[in-house]
Structure 1
Amino acid sequence: MEGTEPAIAILVPCYNEAAAIQAVIQGFRTQLPSAAIYVYDNNSTDDTARLAKEAGAVVRREARQGKGHVIRRMFADIEADIYIMVDGDNTYDPSSAPALVAALRAGPLDLVNGVRVADGETAYRPGHRFGNRMLTRLVTRFFGSSSRDMLSGYKAMSRRFVKTFPALSTGFEIETELLVHALEMSLPLGEIETFYRERPAGSQSKLRTVQDGMRILKLIAKLVKEERPLLFFSLVAGILALLSLAAATPVVLEYLELGSVKRLPTAVLATGLMLSAIIAFFSGMILDTVTRGRRELKRLHYLRYAPVR
């Protein structure tokens, strides 16, 4: 109904955050008193779940390890009009939550990303900053993103976004999938800056810079193949065609000089590579049509939900 305050759910995925979880819950309860706070414990070996429950959060458990599994479960289980996703390590500023909600409602938008502004020199490690910039630019190159902080774990989302997001990732690459889904669906997006502080004493980062960076790169490649198949297979076709021409050049020169082909295996290889290039190109054309149909179906499903008010 017009004028009714939206139901807000704060989603906090957690793994061994006993040192920070109560501060997170108290901070968001102060900023958004009417919001329901859900803490999903991902097999913690400390007192995270107990402390979260004592602080008044709704505590649930996801047995499959990985942030992607937790987010998928949250999106499936929780009903709300506005969802705020935030890590449970107390590095994100709860005072930005009302601004995230206001931006989402004012648009109305489907996704508002919290762009991290480091509150201190050691809050945002240089390696993470560089990797985030590189991966964000890569997504921009293929999907047209204008995001300044693709890997931020602080976001506000509408119900229509959450309930139409397929959530296929299993780990920290879920943030990349969230952004690419929004870009592919041409959904209205926004960003606001928010302070990002150091972890509290006793809290350790679960992010593995190299391993998780490689997983994100693999996901980007997979998403390009699935969401931009004509581009992906055209690139494959181009590489195969160049290899074919490189292999065929000495064979052609030999034929022009001697009138015969003595390098038959090389000629067969060049022919096979060119045929593979042709097959790859037409596969991309066919899959591009299939992808367009999938995108139309996802759009129709998205339109079943009312925009956030």
Structure 2
Amino acid sequence: MVKEPAVSVLVPAYNEASRIKDTVQAVLSIPEVAEVVVVDDGSTDATAEVARASGARVIRLPRNRGKGEALNRGAALCTRDVVLLIDADLGTSAVEARRLLLPVLKDQADMTVARFPAARHKGGFGLVKGLARTGIRWYTGLVMESPLSGQRAMTREVLQHLLPFASGFGVEVGMTIKAARLGFRVQEVPVVMTHRETGRDLKGFLHRGKQFWHVARVLWQARNSL
């Protein structure tokens, strides 16, 4: 008897029409993947249409609500025993997500986190990553190389305990802290993925400033829930 694919893939996407096709097709090529759900987070381009034509189930939010809320909306549509969260801009490198899935499917971890190779170009000064890494270690004892990675696989049980996800760019830090505090096994997995890197320009620094604030807010909320 052939076992049915056990994985749902959830992809939040905002104005990713140029990359979403490759991302969806790459994860659909993974044998264990049964379905791909793309949440179009108020895009102004053809992200939704391209994702649907590529084989994904698509839901559209009328306006941009942020990554955390997009994941919250899409989670209810994921029907399989394991859920994979990936970013929309991975393109063909999204096929590397199978490395995240196998430890969960083999019951070696409850949640896996992608550890990316070193960035090809200099971005910021490491303040956001440093804050996230320090906060996670302080609250859980976990030492994370990639605390901000959005590429994660988890069991449905973990997903249900983590919902609702934190809003904005603090979502990954929030889910790591919560999963570890609940006793779930969290494991980083090295992958060879590539995505759009934030540059050292005004737009990049504004993005990182917002990210820093969101991570700090999640860490403060974790402190208050002790």
Q: TM-score, normalised by structure 1?
A: 0.65
Match of 2:217 in 1: 218
In the alignment, structure 1 residue 16 sits paired with structure 2 residue 12:
no
C-alpha deviation, 1:27, in angstroms: 1.3
Amino acid at match of 1:72: N
For residues 81-129 of structure 1, give each alpha carbon's deviation from its aligned partner in whole angstroms, at most 9, with x where no partner exists.
Answer: 11110010126832322221111122342101111113x622xx43174
The offset of 1:45, in angstroms, is 0.2
Alignment partners' CA distance in 2, 1:16 and 1:42: 8
- Residues 1-309 of structure 1: pairs in structure 2 closer than 5 A: 4-32=3-31, 34-63=33-62, 65-90=65-90, 93-118=93-118, 121-122=120-121, 125-127=122-124, 129-199=126-196, 208-226=207-225, 228=226
- CA deviation vs aligned residue, 1:43-62 (integer Å, no higher than 9, x gap): 10001011111111111123
SS in 1 for 2:9: strand
Aligned-pair CA distance for 1:25: 1.1
Amino acid across the alignment from 1:224: R
* C-alpha separation in 1, matches of 2:184 and 2:16: 33
Aligned residues: 220
Displacement of 1:139 in angstroms is 2.0
| Partner secondary structure for residue 73 of structure 2 | helix
**In structure 2, do the counterparts of structure 1 residues 142 and 33 end up closer, same or farther at CA, with 3 Å as the change threshold?**
closer
Residue 183 of structure 1 aligns to a residue in which SS?
helix
1:163 Cα deviation from its structure 2 partner: 1.6
One-letter amino acid of the structure 2 residue matched with residue 85 of structure 1: L
Hey, which bits of structure 1, 4+ residues long, moved more than 3 A? 3-6
Distance 1:128 1:193, change over 3 A: farther
Kept after mapping to 2: 8 A contact 1:128/1:209: no
Aligned AA for 1:88?
Answer: A
- Structure holding more helix per residue: 1
Query: What is aligned with 2:200?
Result: none
C-alpha offsets along residues 259-286 of structure 1, whole Å, 9 cap, x if unaligned? xxxxxxxxxxxxxxxxxxxxxxxxxxxx
Bigger shift: 73-82 or 38-47?
Answer: 73-82
Q: Which amino acid aligns with 1:37?
A: V
SS at match of 2:169: coil
Larger C-alpha radius of gyration, 1 or 2? 1
Displacement of 1:134: 3.1
How far does the alpha carbon of each residue in 1:192-240 deviate from its partner, in whole angstroms, 9 at most, with x for none?
Answer: 111242539xxx98x81011211211210111111x2xxxxxxxxxxxx
**Equivalent residue letter for 1:46:** D
2:19 maps to a residue whose letter is: A
Q: Distance in 2 between matches of 1:41 and 1:129?
A: 29
Amino acid in structure 2 at the alignment position of 1:66? G
> Could you tell me which amino acid in structure 2 is paired with residue 22 of structure 1?
K
Sort the Cα spacing of 1:34 and 1:106 in 2 relative to 1 into closer, same or farther, 3 A.
Answer: closer
CA contact (8 A) 1:32 1:97 kept: no
Q: Given the superposition, is the C-alpha separation of residues 102 and 45 from structure 1 closer, same or farther in structure 2, using an over 3 Å criterion?
A: same
Partner of 2:113, secondary structure, is strand
- Measured in 2, the distance between the counterparts of 1:132 and 1:100 equals 21
Identity of aligned residues (%): 24
Is there any run of 5+ residues in structure 1 with no aligned partner, and where? 229-309
8 Å CA contact 1:84–1:157 kept in 2: the answer is yes
User: Relative to structure 1, is the Cα distance of residues 111 and 117 closer, same or farther in structure 2, using a 3 angstrom cutoff?
Assistant: same
